[in-house]
Amino acid sequence: MKHYRIAVLGGSGFIGTHLLSRLTKEGHRLTVLTRHRERHRHLLVLPGTNVIQADIHNPQHLQRYLVDHDIVINLVGILNEQGDTGQGFHKAHVVLTEKIITACRQHGIKRLLQMSALHAAPDAPSHYLRSKGQAERFVLNQDDMHVTCFRPSVIFGPGDSFFIRFAQLLRMTIGPFPLACAKARFAPIYVGDVVSAFCQSIHLPQTYGQAYDLCGPKTYTLFELVTFTAQVIGKRRWIMPLGKLASALQANLLEYFPGKPFSRDNYRSMKIDSICDKHWPEIFNVERATIEAIVPEYLTHQRSRDRYMDIRQHSHREDL
Ligand SMILES: NC(=O)c1ccc[n+]([C@@H]2O[C@H](COP(=O)([O-])OP(=O)(O)OC[C@H]3O[C@@H](n4cnc5c(N)ncnc54)[C@H](OP(=O)(O)O)[C@@H]3O)[C@@H](O)[C@H]2O)c1
């Protein structure tokens, strides 16, 4: 198998961490560009991995750090922006992607793997999906580049922000658990399967100029997914589906909570079911995992970690 020098943007996040680990196992040499090198020092233990602090929105930084690479992987993405104008999404998804293409051209890098999202399109209902769709269209229009786009539904696995977030919320809730958009449908895909598609595409010229929808093997409503989460963590909760108006109101309210657990833009994204119209792309040889096989494993470990934190707090031992 050929080994490449790969620059990864957004490599310090949930998917990035899983992807870096697989890429290093395959013998590639990696450069991870991050805004916070100290916070992500742990990535340095990965063999052949360099972690560089950079302002990737600054074209000079991009130009400097992409030198001598064969491939760029762009995983940068945000689910929420400050306010609700779309400008934050546009900057993180569209403008940054344009700068990446410019920097790639300056160094003769032709191969780009671009993370998009299922149902991303310039006319989608949310800023998130619209900006992802614009970025995707832009990169696929670059005829001199070898671009592959990936369009996953919600991704699960150790460190995810879906099941872990719902598990935390369910644990914190006393009484009914009000759930917005309970009928919205998802086809959750395992992070290991997404990573496999990325890694395989590196060696497959047939994937140049293509965009792939990636869904897990089963579809569920949000209500079913939250009920499943409650069962896994052993919490009996009355999950109360909210109607359209109450869901919109909840989004308006939670948008002002720290960390924006739910926003108006998230609400708009959920107007489209996050499920695939097409079959799994046959070009990727992947035996897709189900949530039932994977999620209990890491949510249970999460529980032990939370218990450990409780013991630490009760014993006033922050140094444990
Ligand atoms: N998770 C899912 O279910 C899912 C589903 C479909 C698509 N996606 C897409 O997959 C990609 C990765 O998702 P993830 O779940 O791994 O996200 P994540 O854990 O939040 O990581 C996002 C990464 O992007 C970088 N980043 C965030 N905001 C940035 C900004 N304003 N400027 C520059 N860098 C920024 C961060 O890097 P530093 O902080 O190190 O700079 C971080 O490593 C995203 O594009 C997301 O839209 C995710």
pLDDT in tens, 99-158: 999 999 999 999 999 999 999 999 999 999 999 999 999 999 999 999 999 999 999 999
Q: List % helix, strand, coil for the chain (3-state, nearest 5).
A: 45, 15, 40
Find out whether the beta carbon of 157 lies less than 6 Å from any atom of ligand 1.
no
Q: What's the CATH code of the domain at 63?
A: 3.40.50.720
Query: pTM, whole model, 2 decimals?
Result: 0.94
Residues of the domain holding 75: 5-159+189-214
Amino acid residing at 269:
S
DSSP designation for 95: I
Nearest CA residue ID for atom 44, ligand 1: 77
In this structure, is residue 117 part of a structural domain?
A: yes
In this structure, is residue 242 part of a structural domain?
A: no
Angstrom distance (rounded) from CA 229 to CA 245 = 25
Find out whether the beta carbon of 100 lies less than 6 Å from any atom of ligand 1.
no
Give strand pairing partners of 210: 148
Confirm if 165 and 303 have CB atoms less than 8 A apart.
no
In this structure, is residue 298 part of a structural domain?
A: no
- Integer CA distances (angstroms), 144 to 69, 134, 147, 162, in order: 17, 18, 9, 37
If we measure between CA atoms, which residue out of 152, 156, 140, 4 comes closest to residue 75?
152
DSSP designation for 27: T
- Integer CA distances (angstroms), 108 to 103, 206, 307, in order: 9, 20, 51
In this structure, is residue 182 part of a structural domain?
A: no
Backbone angles phi, psi at 253, to 5 degrees: -75, -50
Confirm if 196 and 287 have CB atoms less than 8 A apart.
no
Average pLDDT value for residue range 5-30: 98
Q: Which residue in this structure is represented by tokens 């935390």? A: 168
How many Cβ atoms from other residues are within 10 Å of residue 292's Cβ? 10
Nearest CA residue ID for atom 11, ligand 1: 75
Find out whether the beta carbon of 126 lies less than 6 Å from any atom of ligand 1.
no
> What residues contact 135, with CB distance under 8 A and at least 6 apart?
93, 94, 97, 114, 116, 120
Q: How far is the CA of 13 from the centre of ligand 1 (A)?
A: 6
In this structure, is residue 88 part of a structural domain?
A: yes
Q: pLDDT tens digits, residue range 162-203?
A: 999 999 999 999 999 999 999 999 999 999 999 999 999 999
CA 257 from centre of chain? 21
Element (H, E) at 266: helix 264-269
Cα Rg of the chain (Å, integer): 20
Structure token pair of residue 258: 């720290």
Best of 78, 161, 164 to mutate for ligand 1, by most ligand atoms within 8 A of CB?
78
Q: How far is the CA of 75 from the centre of ligand 1 (A)?
A: 6
What is the reported pLDDT for 302? 63
The ligand 1 atom at the shortest distance from the C-alpha of residue 88 is: 31
In this structure, is residue 133 part of a structural domain?
A: yes
| Number of compact structural domains in the chain | 1
In this structure, is residue 265 part of a structural domain?
A: no
> What residues contact 132, with CB distance under 8 A and at least 6 apart?
77, 93, 116, 117, 120, 124
Instruction: Check pLDDT > 50 for residue 318.
Output: no
Confirm if 153 and 276 have CB atoms less than 8 A apart.
yes
DSSP designation for 70: S
In this structure, is residue 15 part of a structural domain?
A: yes
Lowest mean pLDDT among 144-148, 275-279, 310-314, 315-319: 315-319
pLDDT band at 305 (very low <50, low <70, confident <90, very high): low
